[in-house]
Structure formats: C-alpha cells, structure tokens
Chains A and B, each alone.
Chain A
Amino acid sequence: MNKNDIKLIIIILIIIIILFLIYFLNTNKANMAYVYYENDLILTIDLSNDEIYEVNGENGIVKIEVLNNQIRVIEENSPRHLCSKQGFISNSGQSIICLPNKIIIELPNTEIDTEVS
C-alpha cells in the first residue's frame, strides 16, 4: 500500500459518510407499502393495521407480516431465504426484494408522492 492508496481510501470514506448523512437526514417513516410481482403492483398495504398477507410469488406463497408500522417477509420459498432474513423495514425508500419469487415490497416516499399528485 502506498500513499495514494491511503488517500483514495480516505476520499471514498468521506463520500460514504456524505451518502449516509444524506440518507439519514431524508428518512421518514412510511405509512404505505406496495407489493409488486414482475413489476406489476399487486397489493397496497396500510402499515397502520397489523395483519398477515399472502401473495403468490414465482415459487409459491409469500407471507408478509405487518406489525407496529413495520413490514417483513415471514415465509417464502427461495434457495437462500434472503428476503425473510432481511427482517423488518419501516423507513420510506427501503425495500425488500425477493428475486427468486419476483416479489418486491417497496415503501414509497410519501412526501414525494404527495408533491406529484
């Protein structure tokens, strides 16, 4: 490792810190969740009601749980179960992606949505 390598790493770290700051300043709790299957909106979920939803994914049923304004996938059939391991999400802009099932759960940015409409 030479001096330039260290300079490079410091520059990258500064960029990362700036990105994190931008995200943390912009986060707000979402109140809606959109569920997509193959880019088609199949379900809109209100996060204020605790409930368990079931949607059909590529490999069978995907169970989605809403609890205390948070949302997570609790059961799905995929090789590595990445989306159920991901756990709860609650901030707008976050998402759970289950590629094997072609299911995407997205928490929309409500502020931007109201501005558009």
Chain B
Amino acid sequence: MKKFTRLSMLLALSVALNVIETSLPLLNGYIPGLRLGLANIVTLFIIYQFSFKDALYIGILRVFLVGILRTGIFSTTFFFSLTGVLLSIISMYFAKKYLKLSIIGVSVIGSIAHSTGQVLASILILQMSSMIYYLPWLLLFSIPTGILVGLICKQLVKFYERNLLVENF
C-alpha cells in the first residue's frame, strides 16, 4: 500500500516536471525535440529504488497523462514520447544491470536512448528520413542533460535512503 502511494506521488511529480520542462524551451527551439528531460529524474529514481516493472508502468502512464493533459492522446507527439520513454527505460535497465556505470552513466544512456527513440519514431511516423540530421545535435545535448539528471537523481536517492532509515526507526 505504501508503495502504491509512493509510486502515485512519483507519477504526479513526473507529470508536473514534464509540464514544467515543456514551458522551458532550450536554445529557443532551434533544435526540435531538445529538452532537459527532467521527468527522467523520476524514471531513474524508480529504477533504482523500486523496480524495472514499476518504472515501465509509471513511464507509460506518464505519457498517457501528459497526452491527455497537453498534447492530445494518440497524436504524433504522443507516439514520439512513447517510443522515447520505452526505449530509454529499457536501455537504462540493461545499462544498470550489465554495465558497471554509476547513476550518472545510466542517466546519460537513458537520455541518449530517448533522443534516438524520438528520432526513430519521427522517421517512421512522419516518413521523413531527413530527421536523422538532427540526431547528432540531439545526442550532443543528451550528454550534459543526462549528467544533470544523473546528478539530481544521485542526491535524491541519497536523501531518500537517509529519510527512509529515520522513518523505519
């Protein structure tokens, strides 16, 4: 029960972060699809503190909720997000499991996978192979945003574990 409450709060938080970051366009929108990836903080946190399955559920639910709230469900952007989120969660899980990376490295992997997923989705859905020209730019910016998300998440996990111990005593 406690877990459900925590996960639903995290879901609400990830939706809020997603809404906040869409109102903060980076570089004035010169590169379409470029975002900080703040919602990824929540996904990464769930992978570390809960499980891969929970992260997948929360990620998919988040895409649906953001779709209903903002972009419109089953719109083109909805499918971009869905592909990006799924690819990033799956690759972060495998990166955490098989590569000896810290949380920052895992976050960078997630960020890269998200960009790649979105570009792939746009190529498939819009039938535009020219979208691939944005890939190197998106990847280049994925590294700093991935590191940022990783650093925030590292502090969050530390804070959470400390407070959890206090709570259990």
Contact = CB atoms under 8 A, between A and B. Distances in A.
Contact of B133 (A2, A86, A94): A94
Given A95-B128, A99-B76, A8 B133 contact: no
A5 B131 contact: no
B109 A8 contact: yes
Given A4-B100, A9-B143, A97-B32, A23 B133 contact: yes
Contacts of A39: 126-127
Contacts of B104: 1, 5
A87 B28 CA distance: 12
B5 to A, nearest CB: 33
Size category of the B interface is 20 to 34
A12 interface: yes
Interface stretch (A14-22, A43-51, A59-67, A68-76): A14-22
Interface string A14-42: 01100110010000000000000001000
B105 A8 contact: yes
A94 B128 CA distance: 10
B139 A12 contact: yes
B124 to A, nearest CB: 13
Nearest to A24: B136
B139 A2 contact: no
B102 A20 contact: no
Contacts of A97: 32, 126, 128
Contacts of A94: 130, 133
Contacts of B29: 80-82, 85-86
A5 to B, nearest CB: 4
B105 A4 contact: yes
Given A9-B143, A94-B133, A86 B105 contact: no
Contacts of B101: 2, 4-5, 8
Interface of B: 25, 28-30, 32, 76-77, 99-102, 104-105, 108-109, 112, 126-128, 130-131, 133, 135-136, 139-140, 142-143, 147
30 contacts: A1-B147, A2-B100, A2-B101, A2-B105, A4-B99, A4-B102, A4-B105, A5-B102, A5-B104, A8-B105, A8-B108, A9-B108, A12-B143, A15-B139, A19-B135, A20-B136, A23-B133, A81-B29, A82-B29, A85-B28, A86-B29, A87-B30, A93-B130, A94-B130, A95-B133, A97-B32, A97-B126, A97-B128, A99-B76, A107-B130
